[in-house]
Amino acid sequence: MTVTISSAENIVDDAEVSLSRLAPLEAVLFDVDGTLCDSDPLHHYAFREMLLEINFNDGVPITEEFFIKNIAGKHNVDIALSLFPDDLQRGLKFTEDKEAMFRRLACEQLKPINGLYKLKKWVEDHGLKRAAVTNAPRANAEVMISLLGLSDFFDAVIVGDECQHAKPHPEPYLKALEVLNVSKDHTFVCEDSVSGIKAGVAAGMPVVGLTTRNPEHLLLEAKPTLLIKDYEDPKLWTALEEFDKQAAAAKPAA
């Protein structure tokens, strides 16, 4: 079903219809940063402090707006090119060192998105396959997934570095479908960034967008099917309840 996107309200109107058309649901695919956990503040802090050390931008700290526009949700190669356009190798070394700092911070401060374990139980109770699909380096992804207690939850972890193209290209999500052996017509995606939402949409799946840190108006431009605050959002559960109603209606009468 085509959803006209001019506001969050327009998305909500048809969200349960757009998701329920996936029945029977086979899988749910999750981004990691900002989707499983509220990690962007840690990334922002690490970038800000390390860029200050090298007098980037004449020693003026990067703002949250700069972080959202140039860094959040992007692959490290693209970040390196943005920050160090004349010296890619320096940029790649910088992002590598920054990721090490992030992992140290994550071990002390990482927190799950509100309602994450409620959705985890729903996915498990419905016997769905699941994969994490991320632009983060594998070392970061595995640390975050482990800290969240989700190492045994995911059937696969797909990393942009290990694909020919990272998000916003659809390849990481298409690879997840292939690895799980599921159809895009019976799978939806959870994402929090513009690049991630674009990747999921380009792969042909409905995307549930989270307004964890990125501005709603930017996320809407990427055309998510549903936009929620977190996994406790009633809009999400209204849409998911449609699957249960369809399953109940499909059962033969006793």
Q: Which of 13, 14, 33, 78 is catalytic?
A: 33
Annotation marks residue 244 as catalytic: no
Shortest CA distance to 168 belongs to which of 210, 219, 128, 118? Answer: 219
C-beta separation of 222 from 209 below 8 A: yes
Annotation marks residue 230 as catalytic: no
- Which residues 6+ apart lie within 8 Å of 146 measured at CB? none
H/E segment holding residue 207: strand 207-210
Q: Which of 31, 40, 78, 233 is catalytic?
A: 31
Residue 183 neighbours by CB distance under 10 Å: 13
C-beta separation of 139 from 32 below 8 A: no
How far CA 229 is from CA of 46, 114, 123, 187, 235, in Å, comes to 25, 9, 19, 21, 9
The one-letter amino acid code at 231 reads Y
User: How far is Cα 31 from Cα 145, in angstroms, rounded to an integer?
Assistant: 11
87: left (phi over 0), alpha (psi -120 to 50) or beta: beta
User: How far is Cα 230 from Cα 160, in angstroms, rounded to an integer?
Assistant: 24
Residues annotated as catalytic are 31, 33
